[in-house]
């Protein structure tokens, strides 16, 4: 009997040291990414803390949301570095932020302008006879614009110094539409992140941002994998997308 007990495997075994190190490095990377997001988006967070009804002042916040573009690219750089085993969160964030800032600002400005126009259109057509039929159309186009803008930011984080936006818009649009179910998932996760920040700005940005952004980033990174560096999709050849990305699924 004693020999049987001696040979019995232990049910509760301590985890390996590498497991604890990976766990703590992941938590550290997430918290530091949240802090860096809060620093780079400080004007937007300050406005959210002051204004009682952000939805009533949405044009003002649409302008401030442009600041989120470079911050998101910086966070994506942290996520990519974490996947490669790097714990230099600050270096990865600022490197991606600095190199992609002009293009990221341009992407967010264009996306915010397009979505703002679509919101005005929805408000204009909603009371009309054709309103119930046109509102879903404008809502779908708005979601498509946000998805394409987000995928462009994901792509910039991979190679922000050499990426040409003009040659990436059509491939991103094609891939977003092709894998629409994943795009819908990412937009839903981003909407949840925005809702959390609007309800509780400080708690949302310091606790929930990085996990939700990581899910959206990983999903859209899979969507645009063919146009990432080394992918099979040629971003300059947008005339025949099926021929170049047909085997990416």
Q: How far is CA 143 from CA 9, 63, 139, 177, 223, in A?
A: 53, 18, 6, 11, 16
Q: What's the whole-number mean pLDDT along residues 148-165?
A: 81
Of the two residues 107 and 58, the one the predictor is more confident about is: 107
Residues 6+ apart with CB under 8 A from 197: 48, 204, 205, 208, 209
Give the pLDDT confidence score for residue 242 in this predicted structure. Answer: 43
- When mean pLDDT is compared across 9-13, 93-97, 185-189, the lowest value belongs to 9-13
Of the two residues 52 and 195, the one the predictor is more confident about is: 195
Residue 244's pLDDT band (boundaries 50, 70, 90)? very low
Give the pLDDT confidence score for residue 245 in this predicted structure. Answer: 41
The rounded percent of the chain whose pLDDT value lies above 70 is 81
Say whether pLDDT at 159 is over 60: yes
C-alpha dihedral sign at 22, 23, 27, 33: positive
Q: What's the whole-number mean pLDDT along residues 190-206?
A: 83
Residue 212's pLDDT band (boundaries 50, 70, 90)? very high
> Quick count: other Cβ atoms within 10 Å of Cβ 184?
14
| Spatial distance between the Cα atoms of 95 and 103, rounded to a whole number of angstroms | 14
Region at 10 (left for phi over 0; alpha for psi -120 to 50; beta for the rest): beta
Give the pLDDT confidence score for residue 51 in this predicted structure. Answer: 82
Q: What's the whole-number mean pLDDT along residues 227-240?
A: 54
Q: What's the whole-number mean pLDDT along residues 225-245?
A: 54
**Is the distance from CB of 32 to CB of 39 less than 8 angstroms?**
no
- When mean pLDDT is compared across 14-28, 194-208, 212-226, the lowest value belongs to 14-28
């Amino acid at each position: 009997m004693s020999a049987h007990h001696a040979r019995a495997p232990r049910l509760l075994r301590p985890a390996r040291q590498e497991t604890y190190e990976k766990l703590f490095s992941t938590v550290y990377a997430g918290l530091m990414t949240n802090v860096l997001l809060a620093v780079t988006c400080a004007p937007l967070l300050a406005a959210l803390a002051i204004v009682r009804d952000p939805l009533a002042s949405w044009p003002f916040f649409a302008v401030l949301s442009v600041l989120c573009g470079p911050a998101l690219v910086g966070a994506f750089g942290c996520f990519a570095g974490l996947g490669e085993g790097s714990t230099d969160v600050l270096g990865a964030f600022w490197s991606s932020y600095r190199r992609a800032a002009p293009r990221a600002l341009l992407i967010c400005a264009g996306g915010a302008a397009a979505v703002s126009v679509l919101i005005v259109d929805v408000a204009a057509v909603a009371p009309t006879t054709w309103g119930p039929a046109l509102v879903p159309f404008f809502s779908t186009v708005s979601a498509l614009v946000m998805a394409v803008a987000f995928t462009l930011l994901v792509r910039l984080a991979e190679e922000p110094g050499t990426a040409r936006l003009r040659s990436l818009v059509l491939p991103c649009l094609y891939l977003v539409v092709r894998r629409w179910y994943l795009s819908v998932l990412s937009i839903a996760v981003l909407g949840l992140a925005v809702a959390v920040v609007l309800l509780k700005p400080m708690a949302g940005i310091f606790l929930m941002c990085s996990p939700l952004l990581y899910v959206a980033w990983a999903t859209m990174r899979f969507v645009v994998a063919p146009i990432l560096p080394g992918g099979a999709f040629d971003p300059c050849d947008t005339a025949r997308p099926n021929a170049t990305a047909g085997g990416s699924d």
